Amino acid sequence: MNFRRRVREEPEINLIPFIDVLLVVLIFLMLSTTYSKYAELQIRLPLANAEPQRERPREIVLAIAADGRYAVDRRPMDTRNVDALAAALRTAAEGARDAVIVVSADASTPHQAVVTAMDAARRAGLQQLTFATQRSASGT
């Protein structure tokens, strides 16, 4: 009879497959998760502290009100049509292709009104466009 005790081996847990599975799950979650929430953004536009331009070429001021109304060189427009706005910009440029359009939009102007103004400038053949801003109250 064999009365010797058998030496029991301790069970060994191999962690490498477990780590591999966790890394795959982590990568899957990173790729499938959306991090941006656009509804929670609170944005107040525009403020800038850039130095004013020294030499000024022919400028056409295109003002856009908060409700989307347009004014070209302080002349209000009755329509919000892209073609009519392009014609007014073409007339204001007086054939000068190097004229700069200064878009002076209210901070709460809808983006569609600004995009319409940019499209009208392109249709009028005017390539240079800039946006007017005001300095912040703190000056920084």
CA distance 99 to 42: 35
105 found inside a domain: yes
The number of folded domains in the chain is 1
pLDDT at 51: 65
pLDDT at 10: 80
Contact 109, 62 (CB under 8 A): no
Q: The domain that contains 109 carries what CATH number?
A: 3.30.420.270
Burial class (CB in 10 A: 0-12, 13-18, 19+), 59: middle
Helices (H), 33-134: 82-93, 111-123
- Widest distance between CA atoms in the chain: 116
Residue type, 72: V
pLDDT at 1: 61
43 found inside a domain: no
Contact 90, 124 (CB under 8 A): yes
79 found inside a domain: yes
69 found inside a domain: yes
Domain enclosing residue 72, as ranges: 59-131
pLDDT along the chain (140 residues), means of 10: 72 89 93 62 60 68 87 86 90 82 87 90 87 68
pLDDT at 139: 54
